[in-house]
């Protein structure tokens, strides 16, 4: 196994090098996606399938799509990447110093069980069986609530970037896909499948790897594909119904959290109700995340037919 | 599993270099993501103990991944809008 | 002990100030009522306090800001002397200012800051601790600036800038000195001299120098006097204020406090600080007079005269003998009365006859007799002609110099008197003996302008003539010195 | 619902509602202001240290929230500034609608940061704040994009460094809670962890030489957004620094390190002041002033930390720094709001275009002057109390050089603030669009609060001692 680990780590570093310093922006982004997949593999190897799923779906997948889309838009805008071949030695020195300190720190830390035993002990009271989900949605629910709001904030942050201040116009650039092209066929087939996979991921998250963010990502991917295939028109960046969908998840999360005060504390889910409450939050959160991510990937309105 | 933690540390260094030294803005976004996943990898690998990874770092890493995506999305949006306005993807250095 | 009266005295100017800022430009009647009312109420309260203090009452008000940092208002005889002077002159200046400005624009701002200024001055007088003194000192700096730049022309703005350029580094020095001292001794109260033995002498000397640098800006000690002549660009009532009532007086008053109540006479002598300060004051006295002699503009000449005269007070404090102390303190009042008379008159000459330069005074004595008489009284007092107020001050300072074993002070006083005569007598000569220019105009049909000048002129005569009375400034100063500074 | 949770939930709920119905953003913000004020008054009246454990788990499994004097004072300052920002922004038609949800999101993030005791939760809060703040800069339109990008790049570098430090802390100690960390034995990696977290937070606080992103960003944003950015946003990372150095790991403090922080602070005071002197636009002057004013905050580290922490004067310096952060927030918000109103009035913030405006908008000129007094540290003002407390400690502990920095910084502030004051009070009577008096009153109220902090500082001082880190001793 040690050989495998070493090989994987070498590949990860090489892919990262190509992504950060390799020639050509498009190639760099492709290498970044490869890098993300390799990292996901590493997570599997580390016995963290939840993280592996998140990294593959969000870290590599969605971020990759986002970056690829940006490469296209930048080249359309005629904004080519400047060539830099020289190495910036002071920065390299500083970065190397940080790396050396980290390597030293990593090597001098003794491994320990951390909080794993403590989490295992109280897991029955959390209403879920997957310890990672328990931490995310129960023990550190406040983090997760804020995190869902961070995602929302990033999307709202795209509103002011709309061309000409038309922040309510249709999201993203204008897409011209042929209605019966390959993409369109794929696009017709995908949504029902994606819906199934997405819902399953959320449902399964309580027992197995998965959860709202992973599920939402799959749904969002399907939605984006439909738009890119020309099957549906891009929705308004801030159409009323979509805005409700955006806030439904965090809103319900917050509302149930405040309702928890009736049981003795903020975000307190009594053991008997915990499973139901967490599942309800996850379901609605998945919807919000899916819409948020889809609009995010489509990007701020660039003048394609206002609604 | 120390090798993964060390890899994470090296990724941080590599990514930091790109984040600060690269001039192309999109490249910096890529580098930022490399730093992020390097930190996460370090975190996870340090939490590995007897065949399992501590669930707390796992949960925090998932949160971190989502946060990194959010930041990347805003960054990409800004880079594209900036390119539309300025026609380039570099920041002109202001006079100090 | 009661806290009410000192606070009421402060509020009698702060409340009118606060209200005046928000008055419309054309509500002249209300604004004048507020200003005059505030000044009158203040004077009345001070009289009440004078009577009560005479019967043995004491007053104290305290506001905590943070551990070791609190504001303390406490009344002693020295406070009362300064406070009474400023309150009396204030009322007169307000009358004068109302008459001077008439219905010009931006008066709400002017009178707002004017009242704020007097609030700061009374606060300064009542301050019972160093940090309280600093607070009102700064409030004074800040509320004076809008008055200096009131005309808002290039000259005024330049004067305002120069004022702050001197004043703010001064206050930084002052703050450093205070904090440095208090970090070792704890809060310094004027009634309880701090234990200076906790600090090395070298530190104490630096602290003293910082104090003098900070206070010396306001007291216009050479070479920190540069802002004062420029500030003449301000309207006449402001000049009266700067020179006689508030600003330079605040600096001189601060130095008196520093020498007597912070360091104490003994420490000042032990540290060898008295003689350098006396020398600095002497240089200022002479330099100010020499520069006054060179000025062709009336107000400029008066300004340099102030530079010179205020240092008499500093000299009195620095010499640290009883006679010198009495002379210095008495001069605090004497100089105020005489100098405000001169500025009132200069303002009237300017306003009613357009006389700005000394040549313009030619023959005005005939057409503006009351003003000219007042001006002459003030000038003769400044020169030190017996039995005017200035004479009394100089006699005591001279005696003090002898008593302190510094006979050279007599030389300084003599030289200064000659110079005073040299720059004032030509003005009087022009007023009374030279013929007026053909196109000259001028009248004094402005009773509200002339009356304040007449009152102060008579007062400056009276304080000299009746100097032997216990109620005169000299008597008061003697009381302070015997009661507080001598064992 | 306890008032503490209400303070967290209200801006958050408001932000969500403002996303759902952005056109009602101003009204929603108004409701949040009023309700938060109620909750805050209840909390202050309790005069204690309320805390909450979301989910009921408590540390180390869960996250602890605690509103000590420091947190409550900052939340109160944020409330005051937000009230002012909302009042002036509401009638501004040219302000893009997304401003409202973003402003509320930033507010929610600030409150979350001030009360959080969990290092990772602080990271999430910081990111929320950063994204909202960058987006607020971007509401300034096309000309603000480059500034927003630069800001984002710096901020992301900062947060990732901070996160790396948090990772090392958890891996070494198995806890993330500030109070629990203080009770753990030091680990050899703590230095590295502290170094990384501190470096990250310094970038976010815009301490010299990491400040280059701040002036363009704060100058390019619309004025109400600038007020939030300058007055509030850097304070969040500063509060985390205080939590780290004085509460979580006071033992990691090395005197040389603490001195280095203060040296950077002193350089910031000088550099920011000199740069402010060279600007011709008001907003840039105010933005560079923020760089300088932030510098003062870092003098707290050698004055109240390290070996000095056990000295009797440490509490004074610590409280003084907090006073400085609070009063700067109020005064700076007042200044940017004034700038915003003047831009409405004359369409520009160039100094030559502002000449004589004191006649047209006297209340704003007054507000600007009062705010300037606080920034210069002249009495009576919160800035003066701060300066006095820090200066006293500097002399008492024999670190006179920091006292000189404080004094010199005040003079520089006077110099660079004199230029706008001189312009305002010039004789010209400019042509201008009238601004309603109630709008002019808003910055005046904020400036009066900053000054009032110096007059009524006794109660605030006592309040800040609630839950003050024990390492900084009371005394003097």
Closest chain D residue to the Cα of C142, Cα to Cα: D373
For residue D298, the model assigns a pLDDT of 96
Nearest Cβ partner for C135 among D366, D380, D389: D380
Cα–Cα distances (Å) from A221 to A60, A74, A198, B72, in that order, read: 13, 22, 10, 17
Nearest Cβ partner for A106 among B6, B33, B52: B6
Strands (E), C324-463: none
Looking at per-residue pLDDT, the higher value among B69 and A84 belongs to B69
For residue B93, the model assigns a pLDDT of 63
Q: Cβ contact (<8 Å) for D55 and A264? A: no
For residue B94, the model assigns a pLDDT of 44
pLDDT in tens, C96-117: 888 888 777 778 888 888 889 9
Cα distance between residue C335 and residue C456, in whole Å = 11
pLDDT in tens, D436-454: 989 999 999 999 999 999 9
* Length reported for chain C: 487
From chain D, pick out residues whose CB is under 8 angstroms from the CB of C149: 425
Q: Find chains touching chain B: ≥3 CB pairs under 8 Å.
A: A, D
Closest chain D residue to the Cα of C163, Cα to Cα: D418
D67 touches chain A (CB under 8 A): no
pLDDT in tens, C130-165: 999 999 999 998 889 888 888 888 888 888 889 999
Q: Is the pLDDT of residue D271 over 90?
A: yes
Ranges of residues in chain A whose predicted pLDDT is under 50:
304-307
Residue C243: beta bridge partners? none
For residue A181, the model assigns a pLDDT of 61
Give the mean model confidence (pLDDT) for residues D255-263: 92
Domain extents in chain B? 2-49+56-86
Where is average pLDDT lowest: A6-15, C322-331, D192-201, D302-311?
D302-311
User: To which H or E segment does residue D373 belong?
Assistant: helix D362-376
pLDDT in tens, D37-60: 999 999 999 888 999 999 888 888
Size of interface A-D (CB pairs under 8 A): 162
Answer for the pair A107, D171: CB distance below 8 angstroms, yes or no: no
Give the mean model confidence (pLDDT) for residues B38-61: 91
Nearest Cβ partner for B85 among D142, D164, D170: D142
Strands (E), D95-252: none
Interface of D with A in 68-97 (CB under 8 A): 96-97
From chain C, pick out residues whose CB is under 8 angstroms from the CB of D476: 67-68, 186
From chain A, pick out residues whose CB is under 8 angstroms from the CB of B87: 77-79
Interface test with B, best of D154, D160, D187 (most B CBs within 10 A): D160
Q: Is the dihedral of CA C64, C67, C69, C73 positive or negative?
A: positive
A117 touches chain B (CB under 8 A): no
Nearest Cβ partner for B39 among D167, D212, D216: D167
Give the max Cα distance, chain B: 55
Where is average pLDDT lowest: A127-131, B17-21, D285-289?
A127-131
B88 touches chain A (CB under 8 A): yes
Interface of A with D in 229-268 (CB under 8 A): 238, 243-244, 246-247, 250-251, 254, 257-258, 260-261, 264-268
Dihedral pair phi/psi, residue A109, rounded to 5°: -90, 130
pLDDT in tens, D97-128: 899 999 999 999 999 999 999 999 999 999 99
Domain extents in chain C? 327-487
Percent of chain D scored above 90 by pLDDT? 76
Cα–Cα distances (Å) from C6 to C58, C92, C192, C415, D456, in that order, read: 10, 22, 20, 42, 19
Nearest Cβ partner for A79 among B44, B73, B87: B87
Interface of A with B in 25-54 (CB under 8 A): 25, 28-29, 32, 35-36, 39, 42-43, 45-48, 50-51, 54
Q: Cβ contact (<8 Å) for D9 and A156? A: no
pLDDT in tens, A18-60: 999 988 899 999 999 999 999 999 999 998 988 998 999 888 8
Cα distance between residue C310 and residue C252, in whole Å = 7
Cα distance between residue D73 and residue D326, in whole Å = 8
Nearest Cβ partner for B70 among D131, D145, D167: D131
pLDDT band at B96 (very low <50, low <70, confident <90, very high): very low
Can you tell me whether residue D116 is helix, strand or coil? strand
- Number of domains chain D contains: 1
Interface test with C, best of D326, D366, D382, D388 (most C CBs within 10 A): D388
For residue D475, the model assigns a pLDDT of 46
For residue C68, the model assigns a pLDDT of 78
B93 touches chain D (CB under 8 A): no
Residue ranges making up the domain that contains D408: 269-476
CA distance D157 to chain B (A): 8
Dihedral pair phi/psi, residue D465, rounded to 5°: -75, -10
Cα–Cα distances (Å) from C153 to C355, C420, D425, in that order, read: 20, 32, 9
Ranges of residues in chain C whose predicted pLDDT is under 50:
487
For residue D239, the model assigns a pLDDT of 97
Closest chain D residue to the Cα of C151, Cα to Cα: D427
Token pair for D451: 């000054």
Q: Cβ contact (<8 Å) for C171 and D378? A: yes
CA distance D10 to chain A (A): 10
Can you tell me whether residue A238 is helix, strand or coil? coil
Answer for the pair D460, D385: CB distance below 8 angstroms, yes or no: no
For residue D16, the model assigns a pLDDT of 96
- Domain B2-49+56-86 CATH class label: mainly alpha
C155 touches chain D (CB under 8 A): no
Q: Is the pLDDT of residue D426 over 50?
A: yes
Interface of A with D in 107-166 (CB under 8 A): 108-109, 112, 114-115, 118-119, 122, 138-143, 146-147, 149-150, 152-154, 156-161, 165
Interface test with D, best of A46, A51, A115, A150 (most D CBs within 10 A): A150
A171 touches chain B (CB under 8 A): no
Answer for the pair B16, A95: CB distance below 8 angstroms, yes or no: yes
Q: Which region holds residue C272: left if phi is over 0, alpha if psi is between -120 and 50, else beta?
A: left
Q: Is the pLDDT of residue D435 over 60?
A: yes
Q: Show Cβ contacts of residue D36 under 8 Å, excluding neighbours closer than 6 positions.
A: D6, D7, D10, D11, D79
Interface of B with D in 32-91 (CB under 8 A): 32, 35-36, 39, 42-43, 46-47, 56-57, 60, 63-64, 67, 70-71, 74-75, 78-79, 81-82, 85-86, 91
| Contact present, A and C (at least 3 Cβ pairs less than 8 Å) | no
For residue D185, the model assigns a pLDDT of 85
From chain B, pick out residues whose CB is under 8 angstroms from the CB of D167: 39, 42-43, 46, 57
Cα distance between residue C35 and residue B35, in whole Å = 68
pLDDT in tens, D1-39: 689 999 999 999 999 999 999 889 999 999 999 999 999
Q: Is the dihedral of CA D236, D237, D238, D244 positive or negative?
A: positive
User: How many of the other CB atoms lie within 10 Å of CB of C149?
Assistant: 27
D192 touches chain A (CB under 8 A): yes
Residue D468 lies in a domain: yes
C60-66 and C69-74 strand pairing: antiparallel
Answer for the pair D152, D134: CB distance below 8 angstroms, yes or no: yes
B95 touches chain D (CB under 8 A): no
For residue C434, the model assigns a pLDDT of 86
Looking at per-residue pLDDT, the higher value among C233 and B68 belongs to B68
Q: Is the pLDDT of residue D172 over 90?
A: yes
Residue D203 lies in a domain: no
| Contact present, C and B (at least 3 Cβ pairs less than 8 Å) | no
């Amino acid at each position: 196994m040690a050989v495998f680990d070493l090989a994987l780590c070498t590949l990860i570093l090489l892919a990262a090098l190509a992504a950060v310093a390799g020639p050509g922006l498009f190639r760099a982004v492709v290498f970044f996606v490869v890098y993300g997949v390799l990292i996901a593999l590493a997570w599997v190897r580390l016995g963290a399938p939840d993280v592996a799923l998140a990294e593959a779906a969000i870290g590599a997948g969605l971020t990759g799509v986002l970056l690829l889309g940006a490469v296209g838009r930048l080249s359309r805008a005629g904004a080519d990447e400047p060539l830099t071949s020289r190495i910036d030695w002071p920065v390299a020195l500083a970065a190397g110093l940080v790396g050396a300190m980290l390597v030293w720190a990593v090597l001098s830390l003794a491994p320990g069980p951390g909080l794993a035993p403590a989490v295992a002990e109280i897991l029955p009271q959390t209403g879920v069986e997957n310890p990672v989900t328990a931490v995310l949605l129960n023990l550190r629910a406040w983090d997760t609530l804020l995190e869902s709001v961070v995602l929302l904030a990033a999307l709202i942050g795209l509103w002011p970037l709309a061309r000409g201040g038309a922040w309510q116009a249709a999201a993203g650039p204008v897409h011209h896909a042929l209605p019966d092209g390959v993409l369109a066929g794929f696009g017709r087939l995908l949504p029902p499948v994606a819906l199934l996979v997405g819902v399953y991921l959320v449902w399964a998250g309580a027992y197995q790897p998965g959860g709202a963010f992973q599920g939402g990502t799959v749904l969002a991917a399907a939605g984006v594909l439909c738009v890119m295939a020309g099957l549906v028109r891009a929705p308004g960046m801030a159409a009323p119904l979509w805005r409700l969908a955006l806030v439904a998840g965090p809103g319900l999360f917050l509302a149930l959290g405040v309702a928890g005060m009736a049981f003795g504390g903020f975000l307190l889910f009594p053991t008997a109700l915990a499973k139901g409450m967490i599942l309800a939050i996850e379901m609605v959160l998945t919807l919000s995340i899916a819409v948020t991510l889809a609009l995010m990937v489509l990007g701020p309105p660039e003048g394609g037919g206002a609604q | 599993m120390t090798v993964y933690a060390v890899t994470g540390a090296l990724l941080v260094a590599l990514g930091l270099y790109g984040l600060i030294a690269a001039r192309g803005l999109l490249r910096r976004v890529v580098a930022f993501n490399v730093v992020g996943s390097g930190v996460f990898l370090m975190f996870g690998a340090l939490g590995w103990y007897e065949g399992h990874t501590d669930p707390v770092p796992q949960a925090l890493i998932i949160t971190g991944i989502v946060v990194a995506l959010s930041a990347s999305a805003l960054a990409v949006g800004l880079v594209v809008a900036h390119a539309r306005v300025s026609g380039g993807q570099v920041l002109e250095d202001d006079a100090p | 002990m009661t806290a009410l009266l000192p606070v009421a005295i402060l509020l009698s100017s702060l409340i009118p100030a606060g209200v005046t800022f928000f008055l419309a430009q054309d509500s002249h009647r209300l604004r004048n009522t507020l200003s005059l009312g505030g000044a009158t109420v203040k004077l009345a309260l001070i009289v009440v306090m004078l009577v009560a203090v005479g019967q043995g009452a004491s007053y104290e008000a305290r506001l905590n800001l943070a551990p070791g940092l609190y504001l303390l208002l406490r009344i002693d005889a020295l406070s009362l002397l300064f406070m009474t002077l400023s309150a009396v002159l204030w009322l007169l200046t307000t009358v004068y200012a109302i008459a001077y400005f008439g219905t010009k624009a931006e008066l709400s701002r002017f009178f707002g800051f004017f009242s704020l200024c007097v609030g700061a001055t009374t606060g300064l007088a009542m301050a019972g601790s160093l940090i309280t003194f600093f607070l009102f000192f700064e409030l004074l700096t800040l509320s004076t600036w809008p008055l200096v730049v009131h005309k808002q022309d290039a000259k005024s703005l330049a004067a305002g800038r120069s004022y702050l350029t001197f004043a703010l580094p001064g206050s930084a020095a002052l703050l450093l000195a205070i904090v440095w001292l208090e970090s070792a001794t704890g809060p310094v109260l004027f009634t309880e001299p701090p234990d200076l033995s906790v600090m090395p002498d070298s530190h104490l000397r630096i602290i003293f120098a910082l104090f003098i640098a900070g206070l010396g800006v306001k007291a216009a000690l050479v070479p920190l006097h540069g802002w004062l002549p420029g500030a003449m660009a301000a309207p006449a009532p402001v000049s009266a204020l700067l020179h006689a009532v508030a600003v330079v007086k605040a600096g001189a008053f601060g130095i008196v406090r520093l020498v007597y109540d912070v360091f104490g006479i003994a420490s000042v002598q032990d540290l060898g600080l008295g003689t350098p300060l006396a020398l600095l004051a002497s240089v200022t006295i002479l330099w100010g007079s020499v520069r006054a002699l060179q000025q062709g503009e009336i107000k400029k000449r008066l300004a340099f005269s102030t530079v010179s005269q205020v240092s008499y007070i500093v000299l009195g404090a620095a010499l640290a003998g009883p006679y010198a102390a009495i002379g210095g303190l008495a001069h605090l009042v004497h100089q105020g009365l005489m100098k405000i008379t001169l500025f009132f008159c200069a303002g009237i000459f300017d306003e009613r006859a357009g006389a700005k330069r000394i040549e313009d005074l030619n023959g005005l004595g005939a057409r503006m007799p009351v003003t000219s008489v007042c001006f002459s009284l003030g000038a003769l007092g400044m020169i030190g002609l017996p039995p005017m107020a200035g004479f009394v001050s100089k006699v005591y300072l001279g005696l003090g110099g002898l008593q302190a074993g510094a006979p050279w002070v007599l030389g300084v006083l003599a030289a200064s008197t000659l110079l005073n005569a040299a720059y004032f007598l030509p003005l009087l000569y022009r007023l009374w003996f030279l013929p007026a220019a053909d196109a000259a105009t001028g009248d004094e049909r402005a009773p509200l302008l002339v009356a304040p000048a007449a009152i102060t002129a008579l007062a400056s005569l009276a304080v000299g003539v009746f100097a032997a009375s216990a109620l005169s400034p000299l008597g008061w100063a003697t009381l302070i010195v015997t009661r507080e500074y001598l064992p | 619902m306890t008032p503490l949770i209400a303070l967290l939930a209200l801006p958050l709920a408001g932000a969500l509602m403002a996303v759902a119905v952005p056109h009602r953003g101003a009204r929603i913000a108004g409701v949040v202001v009023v309700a938060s004020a109620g909750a805050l008054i209840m909390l202050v009246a309790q005069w204690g240290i309320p805390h909450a454990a979301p989910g009921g788990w408590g540390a180390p499994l869960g996250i602890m929230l605690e509103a000590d004097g420091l947190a409550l004072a900052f939340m109160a300052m944020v409330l005051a500034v937000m009230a002012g920002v909302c009042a002036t922004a509401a009638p501004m038609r040219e302000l893009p609608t997304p401003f409202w949800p973003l402003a509320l999101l930033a507010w929610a993030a600030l409150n979350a940061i001030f009360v959080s005791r969990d290092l990772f939760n602080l990271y999430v809060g910081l990111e929320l704040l950063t994204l909202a703040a960058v987006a607020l800069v971007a509401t300034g339109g096309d000309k603000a994009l480059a500034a927003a990008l630069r800001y984002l790049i710096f901020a992301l570098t900062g947060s990732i460094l901070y996160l790396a430090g948090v990772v090392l802390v958890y891996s070494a100690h198995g806890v993330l809670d500030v109070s629990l960390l203080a009770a753990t034995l030091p680990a050899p990696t703590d230095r590295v962890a502290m170094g990384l977290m501190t470096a990250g937070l310094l970038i976010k606080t815009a301490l010299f030489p990491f400040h280059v992103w701040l002036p363009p960003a704060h100058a390019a944003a619309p004025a109400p957004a600038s007020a939030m950015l300058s007055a509030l946003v850097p304070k969040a990372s500063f509060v985390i620094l205080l939590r780290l150095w004085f509460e979580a790991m006071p033992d990691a403090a090395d005197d040389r390190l603490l001195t280095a922080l203060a040296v950077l602070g002193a350089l910031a005071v000088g550099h920011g002041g000199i740069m402010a002197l060279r600007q011709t636009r008001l907003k840039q002057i105010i933005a560079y002033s923020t760089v300088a004013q932030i510098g003062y905050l870092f003098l707290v580290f050698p004055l109240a930390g390290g070996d000095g922490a056990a000295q009797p004067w440490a509490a004074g310096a610590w409280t003084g720094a907090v006073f400085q952060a609070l009063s700067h927030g109020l005064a700076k918000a007042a200044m940017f709001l004034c700038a915003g109103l003047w831009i409405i009035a004359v369409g520009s913030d160039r100094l030559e275009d502002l000449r004589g405006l004191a006649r047209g908008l006297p209340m704003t000129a007054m507000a600007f002057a009062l705010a300037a007094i606080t920034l210069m540290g002249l009495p009576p003002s919160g800035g003066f109390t701060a300066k006095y407390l820090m200066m006293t400690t500097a002399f008492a502990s024999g670190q006179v050089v920091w006292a000189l920095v404080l004094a010199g910084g005040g003079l520089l502030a006077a110099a660079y603030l004199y230029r706008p004051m001189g312009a305002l009070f010039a004789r010209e009577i400019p042509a201008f669009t009238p601004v309603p008096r109630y709008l002019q009153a808003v910055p005046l109220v904020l400036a009066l609060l900053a000054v009032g902090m110096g007059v009524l500082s006794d109660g605030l001082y006592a309040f800040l001692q609630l839950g003050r880190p024990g390492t900084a001793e009371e005394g003097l």
